[in-house]
Homo-oligomer: A and B are copies of this chain.
Amino acid sequence: MALTQRPNLRRPTLEDVARKSGVSKSTVSRVINDEPKVRAEVVDRVREAITELGYVPNQAARQLVTHRTNAIAVVATEPDNRLFLDPFFDCLLRGIRRELAEHGAQAVLLFLDEPDDYARVADYLGGGHVDGAVLFSLRPGDRLPEMIDRIGLPAVFGGRPLLRDGDTMHRHAYVDGDNRGGARQAVQHLVSLGRERIATVTGPYDQETSAADRLAGYRDVLLDASPDLTERADYTRQGGADAMSALLDRCPDLDAVFVASDLMASGALQTLRARGRRVPEDVAVVGFDDLADIAESTDPPLTTVHQDVEGMGRLMARLLFGRTERIEAPPSVVVPTRLVLRGSA
């Protein structure tokens, strides 16, 4: 079988459309860009020529003069535990996409898998393919923010970036949940329930500020909690299950646990059930995120710290518009959380 689908030899240009409709390139350009001062009759004629020729504007040419692409990059580091499969990220990304779409901008998602990817992605971002970027889950000491700076590309970060000493990251805009405050609410609730041995399953607090902040919130309330009651996991379901197991081994008498994400909490619930603990009678469980797909369908349903994740995504997009379009938008934003009581605590 031969190649049947090949690129057309020459795509029609403005010039072709102009010739066909008997006007100048400028007029065609005006029609394409919906500029008002063109006679209706001419508009029709041009439109007709456009469809007949199957004309699609060459964005590279347009970009070259307007310096705008109408595209926004979303850059995500794909860690060992698949970011991609995380419902939190899915939800956040949906928010970003929707907000961008409502502004007529195209979201393009780029991944950073291997170290080699950095150079290529940096070239892409610096090459004028996009008007701005939203950046996620960067590792501490990541070179990307610095690259972004050099390039001079408007950017917004998902989550408060982890600072290296003397870093300039505070100059970057970000959107984050009130992780510390939310964690505090969660743990205070457990305390108010009369629980006395309150453990916590944390995220990778050396890698992500969200994890560090949630742990800090736990410690804010439980100033003198035993270190045995803290177990670090990786924001995956399996990680949550394993961490719960370790906690039970170490502290069989624990009567509550604050798990730093719903996904991990669902794993923890599984472990608790397998090990014969009743929830919430024996062990009260509070999660974090309030992802509908998870928190409402666990058994029992999860008491958890609510974040408006899709809203955070939208907010990130809006902040970015603030930086590309000079639309009114605050610099960085910390989104409030609230505790949602369900069955698990």
Contacts and interface: CB of A to CB of B under 8 A. Distances in A.
B6 A323 contact: yes
A247 to B, nearest CB: 21
A59 B154 contact: no
Nearest to A120: B106
A116 B101 CA distance: 8
A7 to B, nearest CB: 5
Given A117-B101, A171-B5, A59 B111 contact: no
A56 B127 contact: yes
Interface in A137-170: 149-155
B153 A7 contact: yes
Given A64-B61, A101-B117, A71 B149 contact: no
Contacts of A171: 4-5
B71 A64 contact: no
Interface stretch (A35-43, A84-92, A203-211): A84-92
The CB with the most chain B CB atoms within 10 A, among A108, A124, A152, A153, is that of: A108
A79 interface: no
A101 B120 CA distance: 9
A106 B155 CA distance: 20
A24 interface: no
A22 interface: no
Interface in A178-200: none
A117 B94 CA distance: 13
Given A4-B171, A152-B11, A111 B107 contact: yes
Contacts of A323: 3, 5-6
A113 B84 contact: no
Contact of A57 (B58, B64, B82, B127): B127
Interface string A1-33: 101111110010000000000000000000000
Given A8-B152, A106-B110, A238-B297, 14 more contacts: A5-B171, A5-B173, A56-B151, A58-B64, A59-B60, A59-B127, A61-B64, A62-B127, A84-B93, A85-B87, A101-B113, A101-B117, A107-B110, A108-B109
Interface of A: 1, 3-8, 11, 54, 56-64, 69, 71, 73, 78, 82, 84-85, 87, 90, 93-94, 97-98, 101, 104, 106-111, 113-114, 116-117, 120-121, 123-124, 126-129, 149-155, 171-173, 238, 297, 322-323, 331
